[in-house]
Structure 1
């Protein structure tokens, strides 16, 4: 009687028995030259069986993961690094989130006999960090067994540098576009409208100068040595300013940004320039997701431990495939070099504003991006 397949939303969930995995390990261990070669490599290398289970790991892998080989035997890569999704469904490679995982897809290609290389971002449970990796998966056959040689290199520093540079130019172009839009509106404005538009143009110009000056902070951001500039930020005034600035953006044509009247009267002490980038990207994403005539709502509310949550809501619902990749720096629906808004929200909020970022998207409720910030950040 055939066994019922284990539940999975992507790759097969079945595993080799401990005895089978041990025999596969012995087949690799019996090749002294291969073991010496793998241990001489400066990168993390895992040998996986046809069920994607670890049957051998080189010295760098053991040192990096801080465990012995016995602790890794039979585990899958996501389980070895404690991926947040590794214990869902039937384990690493079987969840809905795994369908967009670079490592899982590279291994799947290798199991079909095709070498593959991809970038991969893994959210780790404890400590709560994100691993940015370049991974290679290469098929290897020995003594009737099918193996995958899995190599991983940490590219966090390189990715962070590239993304921060792209975020900077992305935001400068957004602000410059707002200045251009305002100038076009002023040409056709009435004398009564001119003073208010002039104020907005001045505010947008000041923001553009701040964006350009912030280029000098990029190197410090790369290494985590950025020194925030904490200032008092009244929430209602801040959100009203952001709503006014967003009205000048190209994506705002035919759309309205409304500040909810329930915004509390409180304020936070934070890096205002970075917060403007974060909330500006939240609003821009919402505007770009909606057709003409849509209303985007922004607001704030008290959260736990004296924190405040700032949110942006739009009526549309994101397709599930896109939801699975939100906050992934390598993901974009807009082409190479674009689509950085959601990742910049996460990076700037969590790394520099000491907050948390999240989103929800569901029928009937629409889409909400939310950041939760402490009442004060302290400059190092």
Structure 2
């Protein structure tokens, strides 16, 4: 007997009952050749039934999921074994939400169920705001008339991080260093005191941006390793927003976009890590700066209630529907391949370390607002 199917936004929701799962598990155990093969390889491997449920997991897969402190795997779907946040956004589970339409894992499985071997990349943001970058391969398997899928997983997170460091971080700091070098060369040939002052100030801003990039990368690495230490202090919202307004009005990315503080912004005091909070809000502002919206204005705001402070950054851009469900994943970006660390780090730092909630709203009528809610 099957569990009742519910309407979903993507893959079917039907699941086998515990009795059926136990029967499938015994059938696989009886096939010694299959079990020996699955256990002999170092890759993480699971065998899925036609409802995408785990009916067997090899030791490598179980060991990896123990690192995630997960419950027994049998009967779960892949995203549920990895604590994927999207797997728990829908009552029907992994593969059934609107966000799952772009998931490499479920799409590979669905292709395998049509008889085709499929390899895809899969980015997962867990309930704990950890980022997993996986390469998955789904192979169809017919066992005693039962349509199964052999699903193998390789953790490519380290390789992705290395490529990101080379492509994004080093590229960015070389650009900043190149600008400083070029301006310094010009400075030696200029006699006008006013022009010298302008160039010197531009060099100072470029140097500050370079230091910011290096510090941001160091913080992100420490945060992902669980080594980041909070430095809590009293923060004044007006001082914070005014400082951000001054910094990003002169930022090298900003080509003249006005940055203002909302007339209705609340002035309040709360406790947080000022460096991390500036980093999160700074990434929100940089996102807004980079949006190609004519005559746009970026607005900073603060609202408070008895228990919560909400800081936000608004501009007139619109986030496309396809991007909304992936925006906080590591390496996902609307700006091209290899980007995507800014929004991911907002979520990681804001929720895992500052105990807040990071999100956004976006519509044609009201534009886009990124926000962070923090406990006072």
For this structure pair, what is the TM-score category when the shorter chain's length is used for normalisation?
0.7 to 0.9
Any conservation in 1 of the 2:129–2:348 contact (CA below 8 Å)?
no
Q: Using a 3 Å threshold, how does the CA distance of structure 1 residues 214 and 143 change in structure 2: closer, same or farther?
A: closer
Q: Distance in 2 between matches of 1:355 and 1:252?
A: 28
Which of 100, 116, 119 is equivalent to 1:117?
Answer: 119
Any conservation in 1 of the 2:131–2:329 contact (CA below 8 Å)?
no
Write out per-residue CA displacement over residues 179-222 of structure 1, whole angstroms, 9 at most, x where no aligned residue.
89x99xxxxxxx99998997786455434335446666666445
Q: Distance in 2 between matches of 1:354 and 1:166?
A: 31
Any conservation in 1 of the 2:130–2:224 contact (CA below 8 Å)?
no
1:237 aligns with 2:245: no
**Equivalence for 1:341:** 342
**Equivalence for 2:45:** 45
Q: Distance in 1 between matches of 2:177 and 2:99?
A: 37
1:33 aligns with 2:22: no
Q: Using a 3 Å threshold, how does the CA distance of structure 1 residues 176 and 372 change in structure 2: closer, same or farther?
A: farther
Any conservation in 1 of the 2:233–2:272 contact (CA below 8 Å)?
yes
Aligned residues: 362
Q: Distance in 1 between matches of 2:199 and 2:310?
A: 30
TM-score normalised according to structure 1 size? 0.76
Q: Distance in 2 between matches of 1:297 and 1:107?
A: 44
Please, what is the CA RMSD of the aligned residues? 4.1
**Equivalence for 1:150:** 151
Aligned-pair distance for 1:37?
Answer: 2.8
Q: Using a 3 Å threshold, how does the CA distance of structure 1 residues 350 and 74 change in structure 2: closer, same or farther?
A: closer
Q: Using a 3 Å threshold, how does the CA distance of structure 1 residues 23 and 159 change in structure 2: closer, same or farther?
A: same
Aligned-pair distance for 1:115?
Answer: 2.5
Aligned residue runs from structure 1 range 190-269, under 5 A: 202=204, 205-212=207-214, 220-228=222-230, 233-249=235-251, 252-253=254-255, 255-268=257-270
Aligned-pair distance for 1:290?
Answer: 4.2
1:7 aligns with 2:7: yes
Q: Note the residue ranges of structure 1 that are not aligned, 5 or more in a row.
A: 184-190, 376-380
Any conservation in 2 of the 1:298–1:313 contact (CA below 8 Å)?
yes
**Equivalence for 1:186:** none
Q: Note the residue ranges of structure 2 that are not aligned, 5 or more in a row.
A: 185-192
**Equivalence for 1:141:** 142
**Equivalence for 2:360:** 359
Aligned-pair distance for 1:311?
Answer: 0.7
Any conservation in 2 of the 1:178–1:248 contact (CA below 8 Å)?
no
Write out per-residue CA displacement over residues 40-93 of structure 1, whole angstroms, 9 at most, x where no aligned residue.
444432111222122222234445556xxx964443223444544435253321
**Equivalence for 1:106:** 108
Q: Distance in 1 between matches of 2:248 and 2:41?
A: 51
TM-score normalised according to structure 2 size? 0.77
Q: Distance in 1 between matches of 2:166 and 2:9?
A: 36
Write out per-residue CA displacement over residues 281-309 of structure 1, whole angstroms, 9 at most, x where no aligned residue.
2112123334221122111222553x532
Any conservation in 2 of the 1:161–1:222 contact (CA below 8 Å)?
no
Q: Using a 3 Å threshold, how does the CA distance of structure 1 residues 123 and 337 change in structure 2: closer, same or farther?
A: closer
Q: Distance in 2 between matches of 1:177 and 1:373?
A: 38
Which deviates more from structure 2 when the two are superposed, residues 243-252 or residues 41-50? 243-252
Q: Using a 3 Å threshold, how does the CA distance of structure 1 residues 236 and 151 change in structure 2: closer, same or farther?
A: same
Aligned-pair distance for 1:108?
Answer: 1.7
**Equivalence for 1:370:** 371
Q: Distance in 2 between matches of 1:233 and 1:193?
A: 37
Any conservation in 2 of the 1:13–1:91 contact (CA below 8 Å)?
yes
Aligned-pair distance for 1:168?
Answer: 4.5
1:298 aligns with 2:282: no
Write out per-residue CA displacement over residues 308-361 of structure 1, whole angstroms, 9 at most, x where no aligned residue.
322101223212111011101132222222243212322333345454311122
SS in structure 1 of the partner of residue 87 of structure 2: coil
Any conservation in 2 of the 1:133–1:155 contact (CA below 8 Å)?
yes
Any conservation in 2 of the 1:167–1:340 contact (CA below 8 Å)?
no
Q: Using a 3 Å threshold, how does the CA distance of structure 1 residues 102 and 95 change in structure 2: closer, same or farther?
A: same
